[in-house]
Structure 1
């Protein structure tokens, strides 16, 4: 099948493929839309089952970045990169440098940052070969802590702000005593769990790596459940913080939570599921709105800013979600439909 005929193509401006035989690098970069500015998005490394799965992911992710930047009021476009491989097994310094050369070959059409399976140290290796790498250093932290370039703390805080706003909108209460199921305890998911624990939420967690689960159990009094059960629990909030498309036909049927608000990209397997959730009385926080903290962080690191300005911008995520929820109720539309319309008004002008 041609890329142009792909169901997720959506008029992407640029899609590039790279195979570096010497290092084993197999990667794809997708630039969705650069109307508001250069396309920025994270580089993800994941053991995709096939190149088709990787292409589907990068197209969906890059499109999401366009909408994310627009809703966060940033002068950036949307792009994304994926590397096919297990980061715990296949990643090497040479591969990271080869990825840097791949990014450089696009001459600034795409600016890379950190995503799942990657770290600041990986970005620094990429930056040895490319001038279009962000997130290798930082000056600001929303809580005044030392900043190292990793945007995960800001992403997690933004998601926390969004979960809090969603719970207040749906239940009219605080997070204290609310049951929250977190799917995925990576760089963002675990930090989100810490924020929620401090607010008095009761946590249920699932992950494929036992060390994160054990840490959450010991430090956050979290209840460990299997990845197969996490979305079916009788809880108030489900927070998808792993891979996308976990909210699908099957999971919606067994869903008991009344709020879906998490860090994962492309949580809905298909857009029409937003209406299905609305009809079931489930409040869905559009993923690219609630998880925009990372690109907000990177944006502030590139300019003259401050810790306070970064925090203020992150906390606007809550205000944006409340606006979306209010409009969705008034217009009797799914929250993702309202969010898409608002974003498209910005980047398609």
Structure 2
């Protein structure tokens, strides 16, 4: 997926200097239904980098919904964090007003850097929001837990494809990023007797994972080259690029981060090295599946049953790659585009 070669339905740049508000809403595709995708709040190097991130994330949500069989398209909102920004309530209510103006074309929710409280403020302005207080996604951080659970199941499916057995016992898993999803993933892996190698830019999170799971710590720049069976990116995107791919010391890449490939060609590079790649938008779909179940009136039990289908979807992508003699990244794109009628 090369973002600049894609067609987008809408790209909206929002700015109100009186409240220090700068945000982007990207709507990629609504063929299958309203664009669904969370709102992240992040400090970017430039407005251009924020726009590119929103575009890539929106496209990923379209493909994620499609391969997961969900009746939604893909969109994303980004609030640009900066020194002169106004109070969070003011910012998120401003975003909610614009989302309401879109009349259901885009539905938002939590993402990196945003909270249930933020979504509650959006809810004051529009009904087109999820992950608010009392919602399925907000209860006990179910969205993060189910995203991690889906990745855990995807790791097992990848191990079966690569080694003939899905057991994670004594397998070395290197987890990059110990936020809500990465930490929950470590919990699932530890319970299954995996050997964990971990890193995070936050020393407190790193120490917590070491203490809680008996994990071996690594410096952030060293995790890429750590010898392991599975490298699991659970931080920011673009981690698989010209610089890092040659440093990989793993058999499998399977993680929760969005947009792990810096460019589409990097999927081919990984394939050429004989490393099995679990396409990110297939394996990390647990969060959007929870949201879809919530919007359909389902409960946590129903959400978990739907998340458990990720393993079968990923296995199907692997089989398509084998049948066509192509990379798993290309196979996943092909599956998504066929479902979208492209």
- The answer to whether structure 1 residue 263 and structure 2 residue 256 are counterparts is yes
**How big is each residue's C-alpha offset from its partner over 1:169-203, in whole Å with a ceiling of 9 and x where there is no partner?**
11123100111111111111111111111111111
Aligned to 1:309: 302
Q: Aligned match of 1:153 in 142, 145, 164? A: 145
Whole-Å separation in 1 of the counterparts to 2:157 and 2:82: 35
What is the TM-score when the length of structure 2 is the normalising length?
A: 0.94
**How big is each residue's C-alpha offset from its partner over 1:90-117, in whole Å with a ceiling of 9 and x where there is no partner?**
7622222222223223222211011000
Q: Secondary structure of the equivalent of 2:109?
A: strand
Q: Which stretches in structure 1 are left out of the alignment for 5+ residues? A: 1-5
Aligned to 2:99: 103
Whole-Å separation in 2 of the counterparts to 1:78 and 1:178: 35
Q: Aligned match of 2:13 in 14, 17, 27? A: 17
**How big is each residue's C-alpha offset from its partner over 1:308-341, in whole Å with a ceiling of 9 and x where there is no partner?**
3222211110111111112212221000111111
Q: 1:164 to 1:90 in 2, by over 3 A?
A: farther
Q: Aligned match of 1:165 in 157, 166, 179? A: 157
Q: Aligned match of 1:289 in 272, 282, 286? A: 282
Deviation at 1:148, TM superposition (A): 5.1
Whole-Å separation in 2 of the counterparts to 1:211 and 1:102: 37
Whole-Å separation in 2 of the counterparts to 1:227 and 1:96: 32
Are the equivalent residues in 1 in contact too, given 2:3–2:59 (CA < 8 A)?
no
Q: Secondary structure of the equivalent of 1:276?
A: helix
Whole-Å separation in 1 of the counterparts to 2:236 and 2:87: 19
Q: 1:138 to 1:289 in 2, by over 3 A?
A: farther
Q: Structure 2 matches for 1:219-234, cutoff 5 A?
A: 219-234=212-227
Q: 1:140 to 1:150 in 2, by over 3 A?
A: closer
- The answer to whether structure 1 residue 348 and structure 2 residue 337 are counterparts is no
Are the equivalent residues in 1 in contact too, given 2:31–2:73 (CA < 8 A)?
yes
Whole-Å separation in 1 of the counterparts to 2:48 and 2:294: 34
Aligned to 1:203: 196
- The answer to whether structure 1 residue 333 and structure 2 residue 326 are counterparts is yes
Are the equivalent residues in 1 in contact too, given 2:171–2:229 (CA < 8 A)?
yes
Q: Structure 2 matches for 1:1-349, cutoff 5 A?
A: 8=4, 10-85=6-81, 92-137=88-133, 147=139, 151-173=143-165, 174-348=167-341
What is the TM-score when the length of structure 1 is the normalising length?
A: 0.92
Q: 1:37 to 1:198 in 2, by over 3 A?
A: same
Whole-Å separation in 2 of the counterparts to 1:91 and 1:286: 37
**How big is each residue's C-alpha offset from its partner over 1:230-262, in whole Å with a ceiling of 9 and x where there is no partner?**
111111111111110100011111111110000
Whole-Å separation in 1 of the counterparts to 2:14 and 2:95: 9
Deviation at 1:149, TM superposition (A): 6.6
* Root mean square deviation, CA, Å: 1.9
Are the equivalent residues in 2 in contact too, given 1:151–1:297 (CA < 8 A)?
yes
Q: Which stretches in structure 2 are left out of the alignment for 5+ residues? A: none
Q: 1:140 to 1:133 in 2, by over 3 A?
A: closer
**How big is each residue's C-alpha offset from its partner over 1:268-320, in whole Å with a ceiling of 9 and x where there is no partner?**
01111111111111000010000100110011112232433222211110111
Q: 1:270 to 1:31 in 2, by over 3 A?
A: same
Whole-Å separation in 1 of the counterparts to 2:303 and 2:76: 23
Aligned to 1:3: none
Runs of 4+ in 1 over 4 A off after TM superposition: 137-141
**How big is each residue's C-alpha offset from its partner over 1:103-144, in whole Å with a ceiling of 9 and x where there is no partner?**
223222211011000111111111111221112155658xxx
Q: Secondary structure of the equivalent of 2:183?
A: helix
Are the equivalent residues in 2 in contact too, given 1:93–1:122 (CA < 8 A)?
yes
